[in-house]
Amino acid sequence: MAQARLLVSVVVLLGTLIIQTLAEEAHEEDGSCSKQFYNNQNITVVAAPGPVGPKGDMGPRGHGGTPGEKGVRGAPGKLGPVGPAGEKGDKGEKGLAGEKGAPGTTPAVVAFSVVRTNSLTNPLVNTVLTYDVILSNVGGAYNQETGKFVAAVGGVYFFTFTGMTQNLPNTNYFV
């Protein structure tokens, strides 16, 4: 019976050596070395991995995954260029009347009326004619001493003049 046990042990030992030579070696990512035997049993041997080999060809594209959850909205983008002007629209309805404005200023009034009560005898050419009676001088634009009117306010002015001469021979009336 001891002989039978010895024979079984030798056969088991010999069978293990044969099985190890028929095994295919595969390297795993965790740094261990695995041998796969003919009956698809894996025996893992812890050992340092070998050198990195060349990169292989790209494999076929995998199937699309399920869509993820919707993300948060991003910040607004830059403002784009101004577009072309549109067509002119129809005229709108008349609006309500506005509030009454503050009272304005009265425009400046300038007016004068003067009279000469004595006659001129042989006045010189380019002589300034003066008047001795002032009937009105609104705005103070007429100067009685110089006989000149100076308009201090821009506008349109209207002047009238009335003169008289005696009906004598060789008498002239020039203004």
CA distance 151 to 155: 9
Separation in Å, CA 37 to CA 17, 21, 42, 46, 105: 12, 9, 7, 17, 116
Residue 69 has pLDDT above 80, yes or no: yes
- Using DSSP's 3-state secondary structure scheme, residue 13 falls into helix
> What is the residue extent of each domain of the chain?
2-46, 111-149
Model confidence over 22-33: pLDDT tens digits? 444 444 445 555
What pLDDT is attached to residue 124? 67
Which of the four pLDDT bands, split at 50, 70 and 90, describes residue 123? low
List, in sequence order, every residue forming a beta bridge with 36; answer none if it has no partner. 24, 42
CA distance 137 to 131: 12
Which of the four pLDDT bands, split at 50, 70 and 90, describes residue 41? low
Separation in Å, CA 2 to CA 7, 13, 14, 16, 84: 9, 16, 18, 21, 107
Q: Which residue has the tokens 């020039």?
A: 174
List, in sequence order, every residue forming a beta bridge with 25; answer none if it has no partner. 35
Which of the four pLDDT bands, split at 50, 70 and 90, describes residue 96? very high
